[in-house]
Structure 1
């Protein structure tokens, strides 16, 4: 699959996986829309890209700003071909110590806001009858990992939404891909929330020695180009954990077959 001339919109694009995906797709000829909260850092990423770039800064929790950004993105050039729901925050705290406000914040950012952004874009994608929706989950969205209960809840939920959406869109020409990264060398651990909602401020050794963001992005884009629906980007034990919980392609095909056979129409008719 060629991405030449396509437009990829990436949230959480000021650093880490988001910025690396911007570089990878731009190197393959795609136009890039960069979103995140830090306009200066987004602009820095944009300056390094070889293709046309639009910077749309907003907080994913601000519905009005998100809807305004969606209108701007879909009217830029020929519209959005690829959307990457990548914005998110992790956690490092035991459940028993963690204030419920931390759960609400992480689930709002990592799950609800990503669903809201996708819902706003669905009319654009379905009208075109093509495109790709990417959801950045985590190996912690496949396997419950201690000290990340809120994060796991959000990432499991994001995968569930995406898998159900894939079934609904299976006859539409729109690809839905869930990406499960393991440890990637980003600031995810440093920016993780602790029990009281404050930033952790330090990284993990496993993250520091993780997959380089550029390599992770290449694996992700290669897998999208190959049409993979569930994309595990991890090494070693994390890869084994993800593969142990991989959803068989036959099950995805079975759900798509239900939709093709009129499952949704029957459900709507039953009220």
Structure 2
């Protein structure tokens, strides 16, 4: 797949992975729609892109999932179509299950899962009419195997795999592609912004995240996976091999994660 003349919509584009992917894609001959809640931050990303005239901003709150049909109509009206939707927006969590309010679980599901699938479902008729399209979903390695202190996050990411695997099967006949991107540790503010048990933010970086892949290196690997229309891509350092270990032995990945002291 080539990005030439494609219209690519990126959620969570104001920082982190979304911003880095926008910067890399702006070097291609494509048009970008950048979305997140923070309009001013999106406008700053737009100006940093290689060709700001080919980039437009559309604010979006994933928790407002009932409004997604209107958001999709607005997105389509910008350039007349959408060819690729990169579902990158979301939040993380860092707290023990016993200390985590059910409201935190609810918020993670509303934003990371329901917001993402509501947006994707609202765009689906457009892809069917156009006889093709590509969903790119930024999940996590935690969507393939779990880790302590991330129960709500793991639950939401696992749910995304179940939904989009079904979508891929149902709409193979419509030439609609699904690429699940599973990052390992990437050096962004995801840990600082993660929710803790009472719903407040953690507010500090953790060692594993800080030592993760540099975000622009990650973005380049992610873009290659999108171009190849991969079903799933596991992008990280040593931690990406956990996917294969779990396939071999769920008990072994359990032991390895405990020994790694991931926090």
Q: If the length of structure 2 is used for normalisation, what is the TM-score?
A: 0.90
Rounded Cα–Cα distance in structure 2 between residues aligned with 1:227 and 1:60: 25
Shift in Å at residue 242 of structure 1?
2.4
Instruction: Check conservation: 1:59, 1:65, Cα contact below 8 A.
Output: no
Deviation at 1:23, TM superposition (A): 1.3
Structure 1 residue aligned with 2:201: 199
Does the aligned pair in 2 maintain the 1:101–1:197 contact within 8 Å? Answer: yes
Q: CA deviation at 1:227?
A: 2.1
Please list every run of 5 or more consecutive structure 1 residues that lacks an aligned counterpart in the other structure: 247-271
Relative to structure 2, which stretch is displaced further, 213-222 or 191-200? 213-222
| Residue pairs, 1:1-271, within 5 angstroms | 1-51=1-51, 52-63=54-65, 65-236=67-238, 238-245=239-246
CA apart distance, 1:85: 1.0
Calculate the TM-score normalised by the size of structure 1: 0.87
Distance 1:157 1:202 in 2: 27
Over 3 Å counting, the alpha-carbon distance change for 1:79 and 1:141 in structure 2 is: same
* RMSD (Å), alpha carbons: 1.2
Q: Distance in 2 between matches of 1:56 and 1:37?
A: 9
Matched-pair contact (CA < 8 Å) for 1:11–1:36: yes
CA displacement 1:63-120 (0-9 Å, x = unmatched):
4553332111112224101101111110110001111100000111100110100010
Give the Cα–Cα distance (whole angstroms) in 2 for the partners of residues 7 and 227 of structure 1. 16
Contact 1:17 1:217 in 2 (8 A): yes
Query: Contact 2:136–2:180 at 8 Å: present in 1 too?
Result: yes
Contact residue 65 and residue 114 of structure 2 kept, 8 A: no
